[in-house]
Amino acid sequence: MSQGATAGSSRVPASAPAPASAPGKEQRVTKQRLAVSAALDDLADFVSTQELHRILQERGTTVSLATSYRILQSLADDGLVDVLRNADGEAVYRRCAVTGHHHHLLCRNCGKAVEVEAPAVEAWAARIAQEHGFTAVEHTVEIFGLCPECTALKAGE
């Protein structure tokens, strides 16, 4: 799927210990949670729950599909993984490559993901919320298109 973070990003090193939960949030540290976290550390690509479950099985790790869903949701809730919807609408997950709020450019052809900060989007969202009297606003932006490599491949067809 994706090719991972681009040069210049502050991706969390795979060798860094995977936190069991975000600071201030208590989560039971189970073998299953550690296995899911370790698998995510080894992957540069976004992965669906089913794909992650298959990878865990191939590694000989016993984690049920339902438990995989719960753990991924918990990691997403704790801000330890990015979760977004791919072009097919399926939830996909990846260890956060950058800290803080960010957005994604996603290739509809190969799945490459580029994490971007977008101050103009932040300012726009704050202005729109204020104009309509909204507070405590959150937003998610995923931009789908073709990466340079897939654009070049299509041009050569």
Domain ranges of the chain: 31-155
pLDDT of residue 58: 95
pLDDT of residue 110: 84
pLDDT of residue 25: 54
What number of other Cβ atoms are within 10 A of residue 123's Cβ? 10
- What CATH architecture applies to the domain 31-155? Orthogonal Bundle (1.10)
Contact 112, 57 (CB under 8 A): no
Question: What is the enclosing helix (H) or strand (E) of 70?
Answer: helix 65-77
Farthest-apart Cα atoms in the chain, separation: 54
pLDDT of the chain, 157 residues: tens digit per residue: 433 333 333 333 333 344 444 455 556 789 999 999 999 999 988 899 999 999 999 999 999 999 999 999 999 888 889 888 877 888 999 887 777 788 888 888 887 888 888 889 989 999 999 999 999 998 888 888 999 999 999 898 8
pLDDT of residue 149: 95
Report the Cα 39 to chain-centroid distance in Å.
13
pLDDT of residue 26: 59
Q: How many whole angstroms separate alpha carbon 24 and alpha carbon 36?
A: 21
pLDDT of residue 8: 33
Q: Are strands 91-95 and 113-116 parallel, antiparallel or unpaired?
A: unpaired
